[in-house]
Homo-oligomer: A and B are copies of this chain.
Amino acid sequence: MATINEVADRAGVSTATVSRALNGKNTVDSELAARVLTAAEELGYRPNGPARNLRRQETPVLALIISDVENPFFTAISRGVEDVAHAAGYSVVLCNSDDDAEKERSYVSVALEERVAGVLLSPTGRTSGGELLSGTGTPFVALDRPLPGISGDTVLVDTGSAARDATKYLSEQGYRRPGCITGPAGVPTADERLAGYRDGLRAAGIRGCSSLVRRSEFKAAGAGRATRSLLELTQPPDSLLVANNAMALGVLETLRELGLRAGSDVGLVAFDDAPWARLLDPPLSVVAQPAYDIGTVGAQLLLSRIGNERGEPTTTTLSAHLVPRASSDPRWKPF
């Protein structure tokens, strides 16, 4: 592939002039600039990114590391990040850690070595790639979950309150034994939703539900098993708060296998408003999180740090809101 030298030769100028012309510096004679442009065109010249980045000591790329590309919550975040980054002239590379701490570390490592301008990390949980990040000068922002033991800008959603509200709401709808299916212990989003659920129970004056909690990975399969184990109890829950939308898939599948309907048989509220939620029968009640906004806010924060903004690490907490639909209505009937 052609280099800047070849372009310079062909245009009969120095490499410096080529560089200036190609980077749109106005300190170059328009006739020379034109010659450079056509020479570059004819040679199919493309600047060598690594060389440029090495020289400039910066790479106009943000890394976004998420734990599950197949989860609409995270892809919505990525759109938010992308829109902001793009407008500021940055590219975004999406890395899928697959909720695997090892992969997460490896991607953080790659991002650091490639000297990206900044990293947006949605930490997988306990052992986090965040340790690698702190200490290096590379700016980073934690999304959705805080980085344990590490201070840095963070964008969170107050899902605790949302979980409490959802639980209270279930009780107001007439359910007396709400259960909860949440993520692994130690994962902040999982623990926070569980705590909110317990608060909600307390606020509603409901007792005797302490055995109605199950944990699993934030995936469909585990949530399905958890559902089965709850519903086979001698005193099963009459409703369920489910901690994310991938899990909801598993819960719904199990309900179907057991011949139970959401709403009339088991009240259901799940986190995250996936596009298919309203198409179910009954439509799924959800706690909608502002995923896109997490992305935009996170990206803005990161960009301002990259732009040398000083100051204490900030934590931005967005709020989630309940979208009641028929899956949390005990009186719901098909038709």
Contacts and interface: CB of A to CB of B under 8 A. Distances in A.
Interface of A: 1, 44, 46-54, 59, 69-70, 72, 75-76, 78-79, 82, 86, 91-96, 103, 107, 109-110, 112-115, 135-137, 220, 249, 252-253, 256, 274-276, 278-281, 334-335
Contact of A113 (B47, B114, B253, B281): B47
B46 A136 contact: yes
A194 B17 CA distance: 53
Contact of A49 (B46, B107, B115): B115
A50 B115 contact: yes
Contacts of A93: 93-95
B334 A275 contact: no
A275 B220 contact: yes
A96 B112 contact: no
Nearest to A251: B279
The 4 A-B residue pairs with the shortest CB-CB distance in the complex, in nearest-first order: A93-B93, A276-B276, A94-B94, A281-B281
Contact of A334 (B82, B95, B278, B335): B335
Contacts of A280: 276, 279-281
Taking the full assembly, how many copies of this chain does it contain? 2
A252 B283 CA distance: 12
Given A49-B113, A50-B59, A94-B94, A79 B75 contact: no
A92 to B, nearest CB: 8
A137 B1 contact: yes
Contacts of A95: 91-94
Given A47-B113, A110-B91, A70 B59 contact: no
17 contacts: A47-B113, A48-B54, A49-B113, A49-B114, A50-B50, A50-B115, A54-B54, A70-B72, A70-B75, A91-B107, A92-B95, A249-B276, A252-B279, A253-B279, A256-B279, A276-B280, A281-B334
A50 B52 CA distance: 9
A94 B113 contact: no
A1 B136 contact: yes
Residue of A78, A115, A256, A275 most packed against chain B (CB within 10 A): A275
A36 B17 CA distance: 42
B94 A96 contact: yes
A157 B190 CA distance: 40
A82 B49 CA distance: 23
A69 B59 contact: no
A69 B107 CA distance: 19
